[in-house]
Structure 1
Amino acid sequence: MNRDERKSIEHDLHAYADGMLDGSARAAVEAYLADNPAVSEEVDGWKRQNETLRTLYGHAASEPVSPRLDVYHIERETRIRAGHCGRMAAAAVLLLAAGTVAGWYGNDFFAPVRSAEVALVDEAIAAHRVYAGEVVRPVEVWAAEADHLQAWLSKRLDRSLTIPDLAAGGLTLVGGRLLPAANSPAAQLMYEDETGRRVTLYIIPATAGRETSFRYASFDPLEAFFWTDETISCALVGDLPRDRLQEIATQAYKQLE
């Protein structure tokens, strides 16, 4: 199977993994997978990832959305989605589009996205949806114990972590928590602005030592910037205008170097 053949069916493969195909379309994909065992194994991995996310965070779909978040849907309607992304910390921002938690559809203008990056953003988005609207216990350790939080998360992730100060972006630290990721522990740091709008920074250990450029993804109504540094992979998630989230991601990136 060459690259063009794979690209021509990529959309259907993701739709199949998400359970969005039926009839002849589903039969066609199943026939294709039967002839391509390697692709079939990859798609099975996507299905397992979906099931893991549903098990961990599926209950969030039935939880009511905090009323204070509704007003920002109006803001999203006025955003300009076209245009060029600027450079972030000397790394190119590459646009990605994501329609569902597990459905990623690229084209010739997009850089290839590894499965590990997909998992990173999927988990970060799911965790944000669960905890960002929480009123009573949005974090395990509050900002007043920031030193303890930093030491605890560093120990659990086996990485020396810095808790970024995002005051320049109009955000104050709420606190953080430890979460399960697909193959390791994950840290979630939560921030909020003066209106109570929250942003989360999701961090997992990076084992390959392969740095990536900054990339952008949209999961309506959330936006995310994500990257991998030498020892950690990060995803910044929030219901913010893309330009503002980009500035905040830049601040976090510089402090996490």
Structure 2
Amino acid sequence: MSASPITEIDLHAYVDGQLDAARRAEVEAYLAAHPEAVAEVHAWRTQNQLLHDVFDPVLNEPVPLRFSAALQRKRWPQGLVAGFAWLSCGLVAGWLAHGMMQPIEQPRAFAREALAAHVLYSAEQRHPVEVPAQQEAHLVAWLSKRLSAPIHAPNLREQGFSLLGGRLLPGKDGPLAQLMYESDTGERLTLTVRHAVQPQPETGFKVMEQGGTRAFYWIDSDYGYALSGGIDKRRLLDIARVVYLQLHPVQN
């Protein structure tokens, strides 16, 4: 008998550790053959960890002694006590969630994520990208869907770089799109793109450097961009300007 199809419910259960050994093995076999599903699973795990990081400290706080004493002195009906507990948790969670939904205000954090992802994946020889450049239309459509905003792949052939492909990355404030470019001599650049729900204060080009690798990053309304590479700083800046002009052509 053939195994039942793997659905999104199975993938969520896999992330939450709710599958038995047999079904888990089937899901892992499915993931081995579907790299786009691996990206989703990775993003969900990252999202779960972020939620734990935010809410666990509150949920694990001990009840203040003055509240415990008050409850012991007065025997509240169990249902009423539970209602107050749920209301308190809801108010705290709502306040924290409100903070999480605020506009992204830390472009340097985004640049660090982009730079770290560049270092990690630009060194890959066999699997530098999830979707190769031969499927550029699919790649751009997929990343646009995942970021809920149009994504474009700049043409850098005149600068000596051809599109190698791209991948979806988990980010602290939401998914990121990474486009990788490669020169004839094997140099690699990555353009990392994020999309925010609300427009952000725009910035000019800023640079971040780490271990001989650098990223020029900028915020343009509800988009953030970071061009990363290990090439000469001036050359990288020139290419960043080309990227900017292609994404925002001058209107005659």
Asked if the contact 1:161–1:256 (Cα under 8 Å) also holds between the matched residues in 2, the reply is: no
Aligned to 1:226: 217
C-alpha separation between the residues in 2 aligned to 1:221 and 1:153?
29
Asked if the contact 1:217–1:225 (Cα under 8 Å) also holds between the matched residues in 2, the reply is: yes
Deviation at 1:207, TM superposition (A): 3.5
Asked if the contact 1:174–1:191 (Cα under 8 Å) also holds between the matched residues in 2, the reply is: yes
Structure 2 unpaired stretches of 5+: 1-48, 51-103
Aligned to 2:241: 250
Aligned to 1:105: none
C-alpha separation between the residues in 2 aligned to 1:187 and 1:240?
21
Aligned to 1:186: 176
Give the counterpart letter for 2:208 in structure 1.
Answer: A
Does structure 1 residue 167 correspond to structure 2 residue 157? Answer: yes
**Identity in percent:** 42
* Greater percentage in helix: 2
C-alpha separation between the residues in 2 aligned to 1:236 and 1:251?
11
Aligned to 2:231: 240
Asked if the contact 1:159–1:231 (Cα under 8 Å) also holds between the matched residues in 2, the reply is: no
Task: Report the count of equivalent residues.
Answer: 146
Aligned to 1:155: 145
Asked if the contact 1:169–1:247 (Cα under 8 Å) also holds between the matched residues in 2, the reply is: no
Aligned positions of 1:1-257 closer than 5 A: 116-209=106-199, 210-257=201-248
Report the TM-score when normalising by structure 1: 0.54
Asked if the contact 1:169–1:248 (Cα under 8 Å) also holds between the matched residues in 2, the reply is: yes
Give the counterpart letter for 1:143 in structure 2.
Answer: A
C-alpha separation between the residues in 2 aligned to 1:138 and 1:227?
24
Structure 1 unpaired stretches of 5+: 1-50, 53-113
C-alpha separation between the residues in 2 aligned to 1:162 and 1:173?
12
Deviation at 1:206, TM superposition (A): 2.8
Deviation at 1:115, TM superposition (A): 5.6
Report the TM-score when normalising by structure 2: 0.55
Runs ≥4 in structure 1, deviation > 3 angstroms?
none
Point out which structure has higher relative CO (alpha carbons under 8 A, 6+ apart).
1
C-alpha separation between the residues in 2 aligned to 1:152 and 1:231?
19
State the secondary structure of the residue aligned to 2:186. Answer: coil
- The C-alpha deviation readout for 1:103-133, integer Å capped at 9, x for no partner, is xxxxxxxxxxx96112111101110111001
